[in-house]
Amino acid sequence: MPRSARLDAPGVLHHIIVRGIERRSIFKDDKDRENLLERLSILLPETKTACYSWALMPNHGHLLLRSGETGISQLMRRLLTGYAVYFNLRHNRHGPLFQNRYKSIICQEDSYFRELVRYIHLNPIRGGVVGDLNALNKYAYTGQSALMGHRQRPWQDSRYVLSYFGKGRLAARKRYLAYVRDGLDQGRRPELTGGGLIRSLGGWEEVKEKRSRDHERIKSDERILGDSDFVASILAEANEKMNRHYEMKSRGFDLSRVEQRVMEIFEIGRAALYLKGRRSKQVEARSVLCYWAVRELGLSTTEMARRLGMTQPGVGYAVSRGEMIVKKMKYNLNE
């Protein structure tokens, strides 16, 4: 079955789940865990991404994030690629470290924020990593210790989380801790990890058809957790992006036409456009090509990486750079 398209937009709440390939460990020791946290401490401020809750388990990890201006994909690509390279070098291994893509579930904040924070932070107890709530409160590799004031994690927005439980920090911590204690017996919550309430309905068209036919309150599927109105709002935004790609293709825009426009702007030939090199004009031209190909035509970063002989993260950086160039210089693809 083809995998679902990623849903992403600035300012959206995401429950991210990362798993080791074949359920293998992605952390061998605390040095590995500290390496990932160091990367988070750099990348979260750089991408203006907020982190509210997190837990590092031996063979998987959870993050509750609010995406920054560039969405969640760029952050996760940089985080996981960099960590996988480090891990393989340190442990003398080869091949993929993570199972497929990370899982990203867009979540409705007012209904699920508190539940998700609690669910993620209770992972070490459910997994037998720590024995009880007292140990969890001091455990270094989940956001619980920062919320309880035992660890300093400047990149974790503890203040925002505690604001859900009261105004004063001490009183809020007490209420938060009581809330976590109430969830100790809940066990696993499949609905909070992208499944369990309903199965995948075969794409967004099926979701919309079912909603209009049955007037049901759709709660969850692989990519979204929320009520029907929230689902509809996310669908509308996703459809705007899909419609833009379809519109451009229906008007005769393909990669060849985009290439031609880029070559006109930068006054270079096709060979120079695809030639590897660090000359300023070539770098800018390739960046604009990547931006228009990915954002306007809907081509994947993987496809562009193959065509340009670049890495996928490299194409991701080029897309961001190309966007800045296009906006600054007011380049227009349609001219």
Q: Tokens 């037998």 sit at which residue?
A: 128
Within this chain, domains 13-191 and 255-329 share the same CATH topology = no
pLDDT exceeds 60 at position 214: no
238 confidence band (pLDDT: 50, 70, 90): low
Q: How does the average pLDDT of the chain come out, rounded? A: 84
CATH class belonging to 13-191: alpha beta
| All structural domains of the chain with their residue ranges | 13-191, 194-250, 255-329
Q: Per the structure block, which two tokens stand in for 191?
A: 């609905």
pLDDT exceeds 60 at position 121: yes
Q: What is the pLDDT of residue 202?
A: 38
Q: What is the pLDDT of residue 11?
A: 81
Mean pLDDT confidence for 117-131? 95
d(CA 327, CA 259): 18
Of 190 and 118, more confident: 118
288 confidence band (pLDDT: 50, 70, 90): very high
Nearest in space to 150 (alpha carbons), one of 168, 165, 134? 134
Q: What is the pLDDT of residue 227?
A: 64
d(CA 151, CA 153): 6
Q: What is the pLDDT of residue 18?
A: 95
Contact (CB, 8 A) for 137 and 145: yes
Mean pLDDT confidence for 304-321? 87
Of 268 and 8, more confident: 268
pLDDT exceeds 70 at position 218: no
Q: What is the pLDDT of residue 65?
A: 95
- Backbone phi and psi for residue 192, each to the nearest 5 degrees, phi listed first: -90, -5
Mean pLDDT confidence for 240-269? 84
Q: What is the pLDDT of residue 107?
A: 85
pTM over 0.95? The answer is no
Mean pLDDT confidence for 15-27? 94
Mean pLDDT confidence for 202-211? 45
Q: Per the structure block, which two tokens stand in for 168?
A: 């004063």
pLDDT exceeds 60 at position 174: yes
Of 156 and 188, more confident: 156
Q: What is the pLDDT of residue 115?
A: 93
User: Mind listing the pLDDT tens digit for each residue in 57-91?
Assistant: 999 999 999 988 778 888 999 999 999 999 999 99
Of 214 and 232, more confident: 232
**Which strands, in side-by-side order, build the sheet including 13-19?**
50-56, 60-66, 13-19, 103-107, 224-225
CATH class belonging to 255-329: mainly alpha
Nearest in space to 177 (alpha carbons), one of 157, 161, 154? 161
Q: What is the pLDDT of residue 198?
A: 35
Could you please report the per-residue DSSP string of 157-216? Answer: -HHHHHTTS-SSHHHHHHHHHHHHHHTTT----GGGGT-SSS---SSHHHHHHHHHHH--
User: Mind listing the pLDDT tens digit for each residue in 132-152?
Assistant: 999 999 999 999 999 999 999
